[in-house]
Every structure is written in structure tokens, then in C-alpha cells.
Amino acid sequence: MDTDDMALLSPSVVPRLGWLTLVVMDALISSRFIPFCPHCPSSVAVSHMANESRPCPCDIGDKFDYGGRGEEVQVEHIKAYVCKPPASTDKAVIVIHDIFGWELPNTRYIADMLATNGYIATCPDFFVGQEAWKLSNDWATFDDWLKTRSAGKIDKEVDVILKYLKEQCGAKKIGVVGFCWGGAAVQHLMLKNPHLQAGVSLYGVIKFFADMSSFLHPTFFIFGEKDELIPLQQHSSMANSSAVAAAAAGTAAPTMLEELLEITAQSLVRTEVAEHYEVIRELGRGKYGHVMLVTHRQRGTPMALKLLPKASTKLHTFLYEYCVALSLATHPAIISMFGIAIESSQYYGFLYEPALHKDLISIIKPRDGIPEPAAKQCAKQLVSALEFIHSRGLVYRDIKPENVLLFDPDCRRIKLTDFGLTRPKGTKLKLVAGVIPYTAPELSNTADAQGVPIDTSLDAWAFGVLLFCLLTGYFPWEQSLPDDPFFEDFMQWQETGLEEDLPRHWKRLTAEAALMLRSLLALDPAKRCPVSGVLHYVDCPWRLEDGNSEEAAVKP
């Protein structure tokens, strides 16, 4: 697996995790439980650790009395702790223990939290019967002890566990999480094992390892906990807690984003771009910043680097866009993130996967659009991405061709990007400055000084405008205001629904396509169909072969 395909997670850096998504964030952030180990590098800043006063940071009090909710099983020659969720699932996580071994209660506690959140979780004995390190051991003997327990030599054991998860537990999507010794193992496995879709590495290097290259590994992060560890009794009620229920319903997104903003601000990497990245060329430039194609100087990984000038960008604005993108990057039709945010002397920036085939606007032909099969490919993927965003309690608010990136020339793989305008549902917005064709009429002419609470109908409207552009090569109007003649014609047709009132530049569309767009573009937000309504029409023709309108509205 290439390093740029890796999936990672941390409280300070939360890039895409594919299927291992916000529920793990809930387990490792909202639950505020991160195990610590005394052999982490001395250079690690731990001044904020809640348990720093204890002799050993792993000495977490009542967690040593934690009995666990799973069971021990024998998997061929390996013992393993396994905890399963109440409902069946095809997703599993392998928890790799630290030097203190697979029986350490706080390691099993992580497995139980993952199971509580819907994953098959297993913590195997990767020492395979060899004695784990004990707090009473003489640290002078640690080097010799470690030589016989290499984190990079557990491939055979992992293969056994993968076979067990697939054949005995029905797992199809499998990730791995580890801390310290286990974190180093995660880094090794994510580079070597193609069957692992996600990797979470906590403290993936220890000071006794001579090889410090793990610091540069994309799954590595360091985190100093500020809050007290959650009490033992909280775990037993976790499955029914309001926090978990809210996260499942998507209503916890604003709170989680604010917490992520605060943590990311504390861990922002301060560096100059040229120190770690070689700039290849510019990929795009907009009103607020520009995007460069860069490669990592040591790994050679190609990446897109979005740079926002500090002179015109507030730190909170940058962090908000970055954290929203991170929290949504698990979806296949949303841009994937590398989980790296930087601050240089002149810019804020973050890294994501590069789209070398540009964006939708680059392939829309004026007065023509794009081929109907490509338009339908776009529509299906965008529906999926928008539904995912909406399920997280957010409204995207910036649907336009420039924000749909292409990964092939035929739109078989596209991704949504740019989340600077994304806001939680219910956020009140006042009259939008500079009304554009995608602006819904309720925001174009509102006189409400308090603003209009936003909802997903705004995205439905903009999505309808985008589909019209793809099918015709024109905007349907310049702005959604009554004094726009094209919009006035459209309003007349919306009111009557009569074929003779269909605007001239809509007549290249089939009756089914016109009905689809009429539903998305309902003047009353309450009557707009959700974006998923488009899926009912994908098997119908959308464009008339001989349809033509030389008097259509505005070129996109």
C-alpha cells in the first residue's frame, strides 16, 4: 500500500479513515482515553498530561482493575482478546499492545470501546507467550528484552489474525491500531500489508529504538492529554450514552468540530514549505488562496498543498475548513486528506490528494455540457457525498463545477473539495453578498435581519443548478431574483407546470430530466426534494438528441 493511500487518525490530526471513521474519533477523543507509556522519547512534550505526576504514565489507577467485556480465544498458536459488538458487522480492528502485553487492561479497554461503537475488536498476544515487560523490571535490561520482540516481525501472527477475522468473524474491512511498540508495528504493517485499510499509530516511536525515521512516518503522531481519564463506570454506560447517540445521528458534529479546532490549533506544524516539500507547479488559484502540486522531499509522495495567505485569512477560518475536510474525508467521493496542517511565515496550508485531471469546469463545453453518461456518473457520486455530509449534521453550501475534482477524464471518479463555507444545519445566514446562479432564492432576497436558518435544501438547489450546467453548458440564470428574465421564466413554469411555459433553454431536456430539476429547484425550500431524489431518474434519458437552444442563459 502506498503511503499516500494510508488512513490515519489522531486527536490532533484526523485525516481520512475510510470506514474507520467518526466512531473511533468518539472513542479516542470524546471519551478522552489515551494510554501513555514511560518509554516514549524524552523529547516528547508531556507537560499537559493529566497523569504526569504518577511514576509511570501507564499507571492509570482503576483501569488496572478493569475486567474487560470480551473473551479470550485461541487462534491457532496465538491467544487473543476478542470483543464483538451487539449487531453483526463486517468491520474489524486489530489492537496491537504495547510492551506491557496483550493483558494490560487499558489495551483491552480500547478494544471494548471499539466494539461498543460497532466494530469487531481483537487484541492478540503478539509476544506469542513471551513475557511482557513489567514495571518492576530493571530498565537497564530493556534493550536486551526488546531485541527478542521486534515490532517489525509480527507479519506471520498478523496473517493468522486476519484469517481468523475474515473466516470466523466475517470481517471484510480491517484496520489496525497500536501505541508505542504497537504503534511502530502499525507503521510497519501499513506499508507492507495490503489487507489493512486503516492504521492508527499512537506514539509510534520509542527512545530505545535506534531508528528515529518513524517521526517522519505518515501514521505517527504525539498527543498530550489535558483531561482526566474517564472513570471506569462510564464505560459500562457508553453504548447508551447521549454522546454516542448524538454522534450516530449526526447531531454531535458542531461540538466535535469545535473540539477538533482547539486541538489542531495547539498542534499546528510551523515550518516553511521549501523545508519539506518541493513545489512542482500550480494546480489552481482562487479568490482566497492557491493550490500547488508538491512532493515530499524524503518520501517523494505527490500531494496537493492548499495555501491561504495569513495576511487575509484568520487562523480560525483556516482551521475550520481544515477540520471540516478532515472529518468528512472518509467518504470515497470527498477529497482525501494527508492529515498535515502547516503554518509558515506567510501562509496557512494543508495537504490533500492531488487531482491531476483538473475539475468539472474544465470539461464543460459551452452550449453543450458534458456527455450524458458522464453527467450521470457525476450525479451519483455527488449524491453519495452530499448525503454523507448531511448525515454529519452539515450543509455543504458551495456546490459548483470548480469544487468537483476529476480523477479521470470520463468522470468515473470525482471528489468534492473546498469546505470553507460548510456550516452546521440551523446556522443563520443573512443576505448573501454577490448573488450567484447557485444561490437559493431564500438567501438571495431575504430581508430577515436575524438571518435564515440553513438546511440541506440549499444544497439541493445548488445541485440542481449544477446538473443543468452539466446537461446544457449554460447556467439557467444569472441570479435567482425576479428581475432576472431567465429566472422569471423559470418561476412562471414552476407555478404552472405547463409544458408551454417551459423556458426555451430547458427544451433540450427530456420530460424526466425537467421533472427532476423542477423538484430540486422548488421555490419553496420545504418542497424541494433531497439530493437523493436524483437517483430515481438515473435510468431515464436526460437529454434530447435533437434538443437545441441557441438562446440559453449564461455560460458557466
Kindly list the distances between the CA atom of residue 503 and the CA atoms of 39, 520, 547, in Å, as whole numbers in the listed order.
Answer: 72, 16, 13
- All structural domains of the chain, each given as residue ranges with its CATH number in brackets, are 3-266 (3.40.50), 269-352 (3.30.200.20), 360-537 (1.10.510.10)
Q: Is 539 exposed, middle or buried (0-12, 13-18, 19+ CB in 10 A)?
A: exposed
pLDDT at 432 (0 to 100): 59
Residue 189's SS3 state is: helix
Q: Is the separation of the CB atoms in 400 and 466 below 8 Å?
A: yes
pLDDT tens-digit readout, 401-450:
999 999 998 999 999 999 999 999 998 886 655 568 888 888 876 656 57
Q: Which of 51-60, 138-147, 212-221, 224-233 has the lowest mean pLDDT?
A: 224-233
pLDDT: which is higher, 83 or 550: 83
Confidence class for position 327, pLDDT limits 50, 70, 90: confident
C-alpha cell at 370: 458534458
Q: What is the mean pLDDT of residues 92-98?
A: 89
The burial of 498, by beta-carbon neighbours within 10 Å (0-12 exposed, 13-18 middle, 19 or more buried), is given as exposed
Q: Is 0.85 surpassed by the pTM of this model?
A: no
Residue with cell 471484510: 172
Mean predicted lDDT score pLDDT of the chain = 76
SS3 (DSSP) at 304 = strand
Kindly state the cell numbers that stand for 364.
464543460
| 398 labelled catalytic | yes
Confidence band, pLDDT 50/70/90 cuts, at residue 116: confident
Buried/exposed 405-436: b ≥16 CB within 10 Å, e otherwise: bbeeeebeebbbbbbbebbbbebebeebeebe
| Range in 15-19, 60-64, 358-362, 452-456 with the lowest mean pLDDT | 15-19
Please tell me the distance from the alpha carbon of residue 128 to that of residue 268, in angstroms, as a whole number: 39
Q: What is the mean pLDDT of residues 238-244?
A: 30
Q: Is 306 annotated as a binding residue?
A: yes
Higher pLDDT, 315 or 429: 315
Tens of pLDDT, residue by residue over 69-83, are 789 999 999 999 999
- The active-site residue out of 26, 112, 398, 484 is 398
Yes or no: say if 415 and 389 are a contact pair by the CB < 8 Å rule. no
Return the beta strands (E) in 230-289 as ranges: 269-270, 277-285
Mean pLDDT, range 341-348, rounded to an integer: 93
Mean pLDDT of 151-167: 92
Taking every pair of Cα atoms in the chain, the longest distance, rounded to a whole number of angstroms, is 89
At 339, the pLDDT band (50, 70, 90 cuts) reads confident
